Every structure is written in structure tokens, then in C-alpha cells.
Structure 1
Amino acid sequence: MDIVLYALTALLYGGLAVIGWRAHGGAGAPSMRACVPPGPAGPRPPSSPSASRATRALLFVALAVHGLLLHLTIFPHDAMVFGFAFALSAMFWLGACIYWIESFFFPLEGLGLLVLPLACVASLMPLAFGGVHVLSYAAAPLFKLHFIIANVAYGLFAIAALHAVLMLFAERRLHRLRSAMESQGGGWIAGWLDTLPPLLTLEKLLFRLIGAGFVLLTLTLISGVLFSEQLLGRPLTFDHKTVFAVLSWVMFGALLTGRQVSGWRGRAALRWVLVSFVALLLAYVGSRFVFEVLLHRPVV
């Protein structure tokens, strides 16, 4: 059953990614782009509403299958299996869910060209890297609450990081490479960036995601302290995982404060988002990768 779900998940994500990149290649052709006058964020290639509805419907099916796969593989019977590969799979499943919701309100086809291939690869990673069995407290309500909040926070920050990557590309095109690209007919990168909303819209979306993620990350840290005290009988220890989690919380908090007080924006803010996300990755995914894959020491 699991292998069928793995195959179906990868097929759906991969198929949607191929369709998206092929459509992007056609939409970004110089002959079509020449017919559309450029705007502040570049031309917008026409899209078919029926094609968008079909793509969203297929993505919904992919998300449903991937979600079922995660539930069956992470919670087999009354146990729990988890590891860095499962964390990445869950992170990009949640990121794809957020992208699916966003796509109803904003033209984010360019973001989908990043999200779908990453979700496809992440969904298959548990096949190569098995997790560790967590039996002692997997059924505890407080642990489940901590687990769900933490993974939703990861998903929000993952999609925010992809937003930041797209915005860095778009800013570089506008400020450094615009004349070169236009003289060469645009190229596939210009065509890809032209599918995005204006930078100001992306910036608003980015900080909304970061704000929501910061609230959930705060709840994750609080529930982690309560979980450690109640179930493990000891206060939260400042190991590598906790240090990086707190560090990322401080960095995202500083970014939001700087945005509110001093109006932080632009490349410096976007790079700060990416560095903060890397710190968050090191807090759990990175540490588990080191222990499970490099050191062959399963950790709970």
C-alpha cells in the first residue's frame, strides 16, 4: 500500500511540475512576450482559467495522497516513525498546501515551478532514509500538539523562504540584468519571473507568512518546554536543536521588529529571511541528518 502511495504522489507532483515547466516555456517564448507590453514587474503571459482549475484540482489530489502517505508512514498502528526525511516530506507537503491556498488569490505559477519539484523529491526521501521509532510518548496529546504546531511552522517558513528566493531573482533582474535580458529576448529566467505578481505583493505575502510562522514557532518553543517537563521529567535542555531553534526565533523576531519599526525591506531583509530559515533547518532537519545519516546514531 505504501509503495503505491509513494509512486502516485511522485507521479502527481512530477507530472504537474513537467506540465508547469512546459507551459512556462511556451509562455516565455520571445514571440509571445513581444505582444505583451512590459509593466513594473514584467509582462504577464495569458493563462487559461480552465487549465488553472484543472491544475488546482490535480494538486489537491496530490496533496490528499501525500497527506495520507505521511499519516500511514509516520503513525503506523500505535507507534510513530520520524526522521529528517519525514520532516522534509512533511515540510514540503505543508508548503505545497499553503501554495495551493495562495494560488486561489494570487498568480503564483512561478512559485509552483519551485514548490512542485521539491515536493516530489521530498515525498520520496523516506524511501531512502528511514526514520526512528518513537514509542514512549507518541500518543500523548501534548506531544501531538507540539508535533503539529512545529511542522506547520516549518511549512510556513519553507514557503516563505521560497518566496524570498523568487524575490531575490526578481530584484536582481529589475536592478542588474534587465537591459541584458531584454537585449537577448528575455530568456527562460525572465519568462519565469514574468509569471509572478508585483514585488510589493510578494513582499506583503512574505511577511504575512513570516508573521504566522513566528507565532507558531513561539508556540512550538513553549509547548516544547511543557512537553519536556511533563513527559520527560526534566526542563528543556539547551542542546544543538534547542539552540538553533531559539536562534531562528530570535532572528525572525528581529526581522519582524525591524520591518515594523524601521521598515526593513529589499535584499538585506530577504537574505535575513534565508539565513533565519537555514538556522531553523539546522535546528531539527540538519541535526537529524547528521545523527541519522552521517553518524548513524538515531535520536528521538
Structure 2
Amino acid sequence: MDIVLYALTALLYGGLAVTGWRAYRTVAAGGRGGAPAMFPNVAHVEARSLRAAASGMTPTERGLLCVALVVHGVLLHTTIFPRDAMVFGFAFALSAMFWLGAGIYWIESFFFPLDGLRLLVLPLAAGASLLPLFFGGVRVLPYAAAPLFKLHFIIANVAYGLFAIAALHAVLMLFAERRLHALRGSIERHAAGGWLASWLDTLPALLTLEKLLFRLIAAGFVLLTLTLLSGILFSEQLVDRALTLDHKTVFALLSWVMFGALLTARRVSGWRGRAALRWVLASFAALLLAYVGSRFVFEVLLHRPVV
């Protein structure tokens, strides 16, 4: 049964990704062969046509993406919680992150012109959904029945998923900002930009991406705070110790401080731009080391279980 869910999830994500890329390539090829480059407004005309193509997700495609999210969610539940036990690892963590990321994209696309992001989000979700087939997790039997642990686990995964999609937004914003400066420099640089430059033209405006970015970070910060608090409570219940300063805890606390400082600077002084985006990526890197990175090192490189 699990293999059917794996295949169906990857097929739905992959099919939607291929459909989106084909629509993009068709319009991009038409745009390159259309208006002459001598006209000063050609870059903006092509950008508008590419955005129109990237925003062309039909109701059927939206419905299929909803089905993919449901199937992926069922797959995660059946593989992580088999028969009152629990199996988890870095591959399951990445799969859950991109499931949540695809879900956030699907919800936000009803309110913002974000369909250009599916060209990146859906292929990554398709690949991540298959990772547990190749990298199995470890059984966490003693904790599976504890309600507090399940709550801590769900909150943590939602928080990490929010920060993962926020980091993706930050990367896209850095590229989009560079692209905007290139467009201001000369039209010839636009024409020589290639497929990456054309794809960047399908993304929403920088202000829209920035608004979404800090909404995601604010929500993730609240959930990360709850994750740390529930982790302390669970640790007290399990080993009668409130906080264990291992590598996972240190990096989680470091990322919490860094994200908190970012939100404070944003609220107090309106911090934005490349420096803020790089701070987002550095904060996410610390969180990744606390979560997925530590599991990858222990499970794949050291062949040791980690819980």
C-alpha cells in the first residue's frame, strides 16, 4: 500500500511540474521570437506574458494539487506512525517540510500571484516525497504513545516547514533583486539572460515576496518558540531534566535567537534588503543543522540512531 502512495504522490507532483514547465517554455519561446529587442518596452512586455503563463493553473490543476497534498499527507502519516509506533529520520523530515511548503504555496496562491513558484516547489516536493524509500528512519518506540511528544513533533515539523519555505523565498528574492538591477542596467543584458532570467520574470513582485517572507517567519517563530517550550516539558516528563545542551538544542536556540533578532530589527527599524535576506538564510542554516543536518550525519554518515 505504501508503494502505491509513493508512486501516486510523485506522479501527481511531477505531472503538475511538467505541465507548468511546458506552459512556461512555450510562452518563453514565443516571447523570444516575437518583439524585436530594439524596442525599450520589450522586456516588460515579455515579463508580463511570462507572468500570465505562470499564473495559468487551471481549476483542474489546482484540484490535482489538492489531491497530491492529501495523498502525501496520508503517506507521511502511515510511514511515520505505523501501528502505534513511530519511524522518523532526515528523509522523513525533508518530505514533511516540502509537503508543508507545497501546501502553503497552494493556499497563498489563492490570494497572491504565486503560480510561478510551482515551477520550483513542485519538482522539489516530488523528489522529497520519494526520499524515505532510499533513506529509512529509525524507530522511536518509547515516545510514540506520549501525547505531549506527538504535539511537540507536529508543532516542530510545521515550524521547520514554514522556515524552509521562507528560506526558499529569501533565495528567490536575492536572485530577483539581482535581475531587477540587470533590467535597470540595459535591455541587452535582459536578452542574454537565458532561461533563468526569463523564469525570474514569472515571480511575483519583490514587495509581495517580502510580505510573504516575513509573514512566514513570524508564524514560524511563534511555532519554534512553542517547539522549544514543549520540548522542555517533554524532556522533564521523560528524564526529569528541563534542558539538555546537546548539538540539536544549541543550534535550535541559536536559530531562535537569530530569527527573533531579525523580526525585532524589522519591526523597530524596518530592516530589509540583501543583508536581511542573508540573515534569514544564516538563521535557517542553523535550524537545519539542529534538525535535518544532525539526523543526516548520525543516520547516513555515522550509521547511528538519533531521536
Q: TM-score range by the shorter chain?
A: over 0.9
Superposition CA RMSD, Å = 2.1
Indicate the larger mover: 222-231 or 189-198: 189-198
Q: Give SS of 2:245's match.
A: coil
**Alpha-carbon distance change, 93 to 31 in structure 1, aligned in 2, over 3 angstroms:** same
1:235 to partner: Cα distance: 2.1
SS class of match (1:43): helix
User: TM-score, normalized by length of structure 2?
Assistant: 0.92
Question: 1:291 & 1:210 partners in 2: Cα distance?
Answer: 28
- Whether the 8 Å contact between 1:8 and 1:65 is mirrored in structure 2 is yes
In the other structure, the counterpart of 1:43 is: 48
- 1:127 paired with 2:126, answer no
Q: How far apart, CA to CA, are the structure 2 residues paired with 1:239 and 1:41?
A: 52
Q: Secondary structure at the match of 1:28?
A: helix
Question: Quick one: which amino acid aligns to residue 181 of structure 1?
Answer: R
**Contact 2:54/2:115 (8 A) holds in 1:** no
Q: Please say if 1:275 is aligned against 2:282.
A: yes
1:232 offset after TM fit, Å?
Answer: 2.7
Q: Hey, what does 2:273 align to over in structure 1?
A: 266
State the identity %: 78
Q: Output one character per residue of 1:88-145: Cα deviation in whole Å (capped at 9) or x when no partner.
A: 1111111111011011111112221111111111111111111110111212111111
Structure 1, gaps ≥5 residues long: none
Distance 1:64 1:239 in 2: 35
Q: Secondary structure at the match of 1:130?
A: coil
TM-score, normalization by structure 1: 0.94
Q: Which aligned runs of 4 or more in structure 1 are off by greater than 6 angstroms?
A: none
Tell me whether 105-114 or 277-286 shows the greater mean CA deviation: 105-114
Is the contact made by 1:181 and 1:190 (CA closer than 8 Å) also made in structure 2?
Answer: no
Once the two structures are superposed, what CA deviation does each residue of 1:182-217 show, in whole Å capped at 9, x if it has no partner? Answer: 243x53222211212211111011000000000000
Cα deviation for residue 231 of structure 1 reads: 2.3
Counterpart CA distance in 2 for 1:60 and 1:78 is 27
2:143 aligned counterpart, secondary structure: coil
Q: Are 1:181 and 1:187, in contact at CA under 8 Å, matched by a contact in 2?
A: no
Instruction: State the match for 1:236 in structure 2.
Output: 243
Change in CA separation of 1:40 and 1:241 when aligned onto 2, cut-off 3 Å: farther
More divergent stretch after superposition (24-33 vs 259-268): 24-33
Count, aligned residues: 299
Q: Report what 1:217 is aligned to.
A: 224
Aligned partners of 1:51 and 1:125: how far apart in 2?
Answer: 27
Q: Does structure 2 conserve the Cα–Cα contact (< 8 Å) formed by 1:40 and 1:198?
A: no
Identify unmatched segments of 5+ residues in structure 2: none
**Shift in Å, 1:40:** 11
